[in-house]
Amino acid sequence: MSLLEIENLSLRIGEAPILKDIDLSIAPGEVMGLVGESGSGKSMTALTMMKLLPHAARAQGRVTFDGINILAAPEAAMCRLRGDDIGMVFQEPMTALNPVKTIGEQVAEGIRWHTGVNRPDAEARARAMLERVGLPERQFPLTRYPHELSGGQRQRVVIAIACALKPKLLIADEPTTALDVVLQAQILDLLRDLVDENRMSLLLISHDLAVVADMADRTTIMRHGQVMEAGETARTLTEQVHPYTRRLAEASTHVPARAKPAAGDTSETLLKVEGVTRDYPIRRASLFAKRQSFRAVDDVSFSLARGQSMALVGRSGCGKSTLARMILALDRPTGGSIHFDGETLEDKSEDQLRPSRRHMQVVFQDPYGSFNPRHKVERLVAEPLHLLDEKPDAKRRRELVAEALEQVGLSASDMEKYPHEFSGGQRQRISIARAVITKPKLIVADEPVSALDVSIRAQILDLFADLNRRLGVAYLFITHDLTVARAITDRVMVMHEGRIVEAGDTHAVFDRPKTEAAKALVDAAPDLDRALRMRMERVSGG
C-alpha cells in the first residue's frame, strides 16, 4: 500500500505542457529520489503533491495521498495536510525564511496552527525541534532572526519547520544545492536521521545522481516532463537500461580528454603570488570600540605555470573568491605581492593595469546574470577588446568576435542574437568566448559549471580542456565541486579559513588528503561510484 500514488498526471501552465503522464508512488518509510535536469518537471511534480501550483496551472490525472484525492481536495483540506502530513524543504535557504519573524515564531507557527496548542507549549516543541536539527537553545535561542544565521543554519530551521509535526511525507526539493559539500553532507545526514526516526517517507529531488544514489531506496528519472525510468536505485543506476539514464550517469562522471602537460611548457611561471593577505574591517560595535579586522586571505603563496590548469577548492567563505579578485586586480591585497606575466599588480594604477588585464579574463558562475540582456552577442563578446593597444575597426571587430564564437563551438551568425535566445550552456559558451577574445594567458573561472545541468556541464568541461590544448591558456578553477576539479585540473590548492592548507597534484591530494580540511572536503563530496558500491553492499549484506 503506497502512501503517495501519482497516476497519469499531466500538467499544463496556460498553453504550455509541463508534465505528461507521470506515474510515481512512494511507500511508507521509503526514500524516493527524483532526478532530472532543469526544466524536467521535478519541482512541478512536487508542488502538485502540495497543491501549491501557480495560478494558471491545470492538472489532470490522479494524485492520492494517504487515501485523499489531492487534485479534488478543497483548499481547507489541503491546508490541514500541508505542514502536518506533508512537509516541504526548499532549495534556497537564504530566502526561504521570513526575514521579519524570529526562527522561534516561524517554527512554532505551524505547530500552533495545526494542533491548537497554546503559545508556550508550541514554543517548547519548537525549541525541542530546533535542538533536534542541530540548533541548540544556548547558541540559537528562539528569538534569533534568520539574518543572524548562516545558510546551513537557515536550512536547518526550514527542516525544523517541515518536520515539526512529524509528517508522513517529507518533500525536499534540491535541499543542498545552494550549500557547500561539507554542509551538504551534514544536511543529508540530518534528513536521513529524521526520516529514520519518525518513519517518514522522503521525496528527495536532486539533479545530482551521486546524492540520490547515496540517499534513495528507489529512483525516478525525469526528462521533459516525463518519467524516463523508475526502479530500485542500485539497479537503475548500475544497469542503466534506459539510454537517458546512461547518458546522465556518464555526463556526471565525465572526464574530458586532456593532453598531459608538456614538461617544457610548465617550467615558465605565469602567475606568482607571494605572501598575499587581505583584511576587511569589521564594523565597530560602538564608536569607541577598537577597530578590528577580519583576515579573509592569510599569507597565501603559490605559482602557476603557463598553460597549467589549477583548481582552488574550499568551503564557502574560505576566501577563494577574495583571492581570485586580487589575482584579477579587482581588489588590492593588504600585504604581499602578485606577479603576473612579469609585472607586479598590487602597486599599479588602473591605467597601468590595462596591458595585464588583456591577458587575464574571467568566467563567472551565472551565465544568466553576467550579460546585459539588451545587448547583442557581438557587443557582449567584443567588450574586452577595449583592452587592446590598437582599437580594432568595426570590420576587424566582427572578425575577432566571429573567431571567438567559433572557438567555443558557436557560429559567427550568432553574434546578431540577444542572450535570451540561447540556452544556459550556450550562454556559458558566450561568456567563454568573451574571455578568449583578447587571447588571454590566464582565465580565472569562478564555479563556471555549477549552475549547469550535468550533460551541459560535460560539454563545457570539454570546451575548457580543448581551449587549454589549442590556445595554451592557463586556468585557475575556483570550485567546491571536487569532481570538476578532478576532471579538468593538474594541480589543486585546498583553501581553509583564508590559508592554503594543502597543495599538490590533483589526484594525489584527493586520493590521499593529508589535512583535516582536505579530508573533510573529500569525504563529503558526493561520488556516484562510491555511493552505488555502498548501496550494493548494504543490499547484499542485509
| Binding stretches for other proteins (CB under 8 A) | 50, 52, 55, 75-76, 79-84, 87-88, 90, 92, 95-101, 106, 109-110, 113-114, 145, 147, 158, 161-162, 286
Helix (H, G, I), strand (E, B) or coil at 426: helix
Query: Least distance (Å) from other proteins to the CB of residue 165?
Result: 9
Whose CA is closest to 27, among 264, 203, 150? Answer: 203
Please state at what angle helix 151-163 crosses helix 181-198, rounded to 10 degrees.
Answer: 10
Helices (H), 87-239: 103-115, 119-132, 151-163, 181-198, 209-215, 233-239
Secondary structure element (H or E) that encloses residue 336, with its range: strand 335-340
Phi, psi (rounded to 5 degrees) for 47: -65, -30
Query: Least distance (Å) from other proteins to the CB of residue 145?
Result: 5
Phi, psi (rounded to 5 degrees) for 83: 80, -15
Q: What is the dihedral of CA 209, 97, 86, 196, to 10 degrees?
A: 60
Name which of 109 and 265 has its Cβ closer to other proteins.
Answer: 109
Q: Supply 226's cell numbers.
A: 516525463
Integer Cα distance of 22 and 17 in angstroms: 12
User: Measured in Å, how far apart are the chain's first and last C-alpha atoms?
Assistant: 23
Give 142-148 contacts, CB < 8 A, sequence gap 24+.
Answer: 142/102, 142/103, 142/104, 142/105, 142/107, 142/108, 143/102, 143/104, 144/102, 144/103, 144/104, 145/99, 145/100, 145/101, 145/102, 145/103, 146/97, 146/98, 146/99, 146/103, 147/99
Name which of 80 and 199 has its Cβ closer to other proteins.
Answer: 80
Name which of 52 and 536 has its Cβ closer to other proteins.
Answer: 52
Integer Cα distance of 227 and 36 in angstroms: 9
Query: Least distance (Å) from other proteins to the CB of residue 428?
Result: 25
**Residue indicated by cell numbers 517518514:** 200
Name which of 292 and 413 has its Cβ closer to other proteins.
Answer: 292
Residue type, 68: I
Query: Least distance (Å) from other proteins to the CB of residue 54?
Result: 10
**Residue indicated by cell numbers 554542509:** 183
Name which of 88 and 454 has its Cβ closer to other proteins.
Answer: 88
Name which of 22 and 86 has its Cβ closer to other proteins.
Answer: 86
Query: Least distance (Å) from other proteins to the CB of residue 446?
Result: 24
Name which of 65 and 371 has its Cβ closer to other proteins.
Answer: 65
Please state at what angle helix 181-198 crosses helix 516-524, rounded to 10 degrees.
Answer: 50
Name which of 146 and 498 has its Cβ closer to other proteins.
Answer: 146
Query: Least distance (Å) from other proteins to the CB of residue 103?
Result: 11
Name which of 203 and 482 has its Cβ closer to other proteins.
Answer: 203
Query: Least distance (Å) from other proteins to the CB of residue 418?
Result: 25
Query: Least distance (Å) from other proteins to the CB of residue 172?
Result: 12
Query: Least distance (Å) from other proteins to the CB of residue 106?
Result: 8
Whose CA is closest to 454, among 310, 249, 257, 227? Answer: 249
Residue 227 neighbours by CB distance under 10 Å: 23
Question: Which 3-state string (H, E, C) describes 496-515?
Answer: ECCEEEEEEEHHHHHHCCCC
Name which of 52 and 330 has its Cβ closer to other proteins.
Answer: 52
Query: Least distance (Å) from other proteins to the CB of residue 31?
Result: 20
Name which of 90 and 371 has its Cβ closer to other proteins.
Answer: 90
Integer Cα distance of 221 and 166 in angstroms: 27
Helix (H, G, I), strand (E, B) or coil at 155: helix
Query: Least distance (Å) from other proteins to the CB of residue 60?
Result: 23
Name which of 260 and 283 has its Cβ closer to other proteins.
Answer: 283
Query: Least distance (Å) from other proteins to the CB of residue 72?
Result: 18
